[in-house]
Structure 1
Amino acid sequence: MVYFDCFTAEAVDFLKELKANNTKDWFAANKATYETFIKAPSKLFAEDMALALRDLTGQDHSSKIFRIHRDVRFSKDKTPYNAHLHLAFLPTGQVVQPPMWFFGLSPERLSLGCGVFQYEKGALGVFRDAMAGPLGAELTQTTIEMRKQGFRIGDPELKRIPPGFDKDHPHEEALRRKGFAVWMDAMSSNFVHKPDLTERTTTKLAELMPVFQLLSRIK
C-alpha cells in the first residue's frame, strides 16, 4: 500500500516550470513528471484529507481535484494549462449548498480556504433569508473578527440590498453577498513538501471552523 506524507520539491518545481512554459509541447514532454509528482500524490492526499476533515467536522466529505487543463473557450487567455493545483472538499448528504474546504497550491504560495464562492440560484434565496435573520449578524461579526486576525475576505458582490428586503436592513452587508469564503494565503509553497502535510493542513483549516459551522446552519 502507498502512503502519502507530503508533496516533493519536484511538484512545486513542475508548477514553476509549467508557468514559464505553458504550451502543449512542453507539457507533453514533461507529462511523466506531472503524473509522478502531481497527479498520483494528489489523489492520495485528497483521500487522506477527506478522512481528516471527517474527523475534524464529524461529517463525511467527498473530494475534487480540479483539472490541469484550462477551459479556454470563452477566455482571452489561451494558455492551455493551470499552473497550480486546486482541490476542494465537500461535506456530503446536505440539501442546501454546503460550505467547502479549499486547497490551492501555486508556484509562489499555498492558499487555504473555507466557504461558498457563490450560491447557486435556489440556494441563494435560502442564504439571503438566513442573512436577514440572526445568522446575518453573526456573519457580519465573523467577518470583522476574522479580518482582524489577518484572514482574507472579499467585499460583498452587490452594491445594494437585493429586492425583497428592507433597504435599511441592519444586515445589509451580509445581504449584499452572493457567497462567503474566508482565506489564509500567506504560506510559502514550501509548506507542501514538509512531512505530515495532511495533519498540518487540517490544523490550519481548523482555524476556519467558525466559517464552516456558521454556513452549515443555513438550511
Structure 2
Amino acid sequence: MIYQESLDFLKDLAEHNSREWFAANKERYEKARENVIDFTTKVLEGVRKIEAGMDENLDAKKCVMRIYRDIRFSKNKAPYKNNFGVSLPTSGLKGGGVEYYLHIQPGNSFIGGGYWMPEAPHLKAIRQEIDYNAADLKKIIDDKEFVKLFGDFRAQEQLKSLPKGYDADNENLDLIKLKSFVGWHKLTDKDLTQAGSEKIIIDMCSRIHPLNVFLKNALA
C-alpha cells in the first residue's frame, strides 16, 4: 500500500515547493520514494502476468519517474513535482509509448493506460489500424464496463481539421481525429492507502489491457 505519510509528504511539498524546504525534508522524500518503489514492485509483478511482452530488465526503480521538474522552458518555476508518476511500458524500458501509468497525488491520483500523444509515425499507424479495424476498437471502448471505469473514449482532445488522407464522411472519424488514445480511472486516497491496494491497480490494468493490445498491434 501507499502510506499516508507518503501522501502527507506530497501535500507539504505542494505547499512548500522550494529547494530549501526539500533539502530540509530530504529524509521524508527518500522514505516516500522507497514506499512508491516497493508498491510499484508489487504492481509490476501483477502486470507482468497480464502483459507478457514486458521487458525482463524493467524494474520498479526505472518505472518511478523523477520528482525534479525541468523548469528551463516553463513559466512555472517550482523545482519539484507534487506527485509521483509511475510508468509501466508494455515493451522496452522507456515510457511514453503504449503503457500503463499510475499517478500518485493527494486527492488527484489515477491509473491509466494506452498511448498519450503519439509521435507522428505512430499516430499515422494507429489511425490506419482504426480505419481498417475500427470494430475491434469499438468493441473494447464501448463495452459497458470500460465506459463505467474509464469514461467516454471519444471525449479526448481531437484534431479540429481533417487528418490527411481521410474523408469527411468516414464513419470512424471521431476516433481517427483523436490526438491521444488513453483510458484513465480516478483513485481516492483510500484506494491507495488500504491494505491490498496494489490489487486495485493490477485489476484496473487488466481492464485497460485490451486497449493496449489493439494499440500495440497497430504499431507492430
TM-score bin, normalised by smaller chain: 0.7 to 0.9
Q: For 1:150 and 1:58, locate their aligned partners in 2 and report how far apart those are by CA, in whole Å.
A: 23
Deviates more, 1:24-33 or 1:52-61: 52-61
TM-score, structure 1 length as denominator? Answer: 0.85
**Which deviates more, 25-34 or 158-167?**
158-167
Q: For 1:216, give the aligned amino acid.
A: K
Following TM superposition, by how much is the alpha carbon of 1:31 offset from its aligned partner in structure 2, in angstroms? 0.7
Distance 1:48 1:14 in 2: 22
Tell me the distance in 2 between the aligned counterparts of 1:109 and 1:160: 32
Structure (1 or 2) with the greater helix fraction: 2
Please state which structure has a larger fraction of its residues in strand. 1
Paired position in structure 1 for 2:166: 165
Per the TM alignment, residue 162 of structure 1 is displaced from its structure 2 partner at its CA by 0.7
Unaligned runs of 5+ in 2: none
Q: CA deviation at 1:42?
A: 2.2
Deviation per CA, 1:98-157, whole angstroms, max 9, x where unpaired?
A: 5210100111132000100011222122112112112x3433454444674152444242
Matched, 1:29 2:24: yes
Letter in 2 for 1:122: P
Distance 2:63 2:117 in 1: 17
Q: 1:196 to 1:150 in 2, by over 3 A?
A: closer
- Between the aligned partners of 1:200 and 1:148, the Cα distance in structure 2 is 17
Amino acid at match of 1:201: I
Superposed counterparts of 1:111-130, under 5 Å: 111-130=110-129
Residue deviations 1:142-188 (CA, integer Å, cap 9, x gap): 44446741524442420133111222211101111232000101x21
In the alignment of these two chains, the number of paired residues is 209
Aligned to 1:149: 148
Which of 2, 7, 18 pairs up with 2:2?
Answer: 7
**Which residue is 2:103 aligned to?**
104
Give the deviation of 1:20 after TM superposition.
1.0
Q: Residues of 2 paired with 1:98 and 1:164: CA distance?
A: 24
1:193 and 2:168 matched: no
Tell me, in whole angstroms, the C-alpha distance in 1 between the residues paired with 2:71 and 2:97: 28
| TM-score of the superposed pair, with normalisation by structure 2 | 0.85
Residue 84, structure 1, aligned to residue 83, structure 2: yes
Q: Distance between the aligned counterparts of 2:92 and 2:76, measured in 1?
A: 37
SS at match of 2:9: helix
Q: Which residue of 1 aligns with 2:136?
A: 138
Q: More displaced, 45-54 or 57-66? A: 57-66
In structure 1, what is the Cα distance between the partners aligned to 2:157 and 2:174? 7
Unpaired segments ≥5 residues, structure 1: 1-5
Q: State the identity as a percent.
A: 23
Asked if the contact 1:15–1:106 (Cα under 8 Å) also holds between the matched residues in 2, the reply is yes
Amino acid at match of 1:168: D
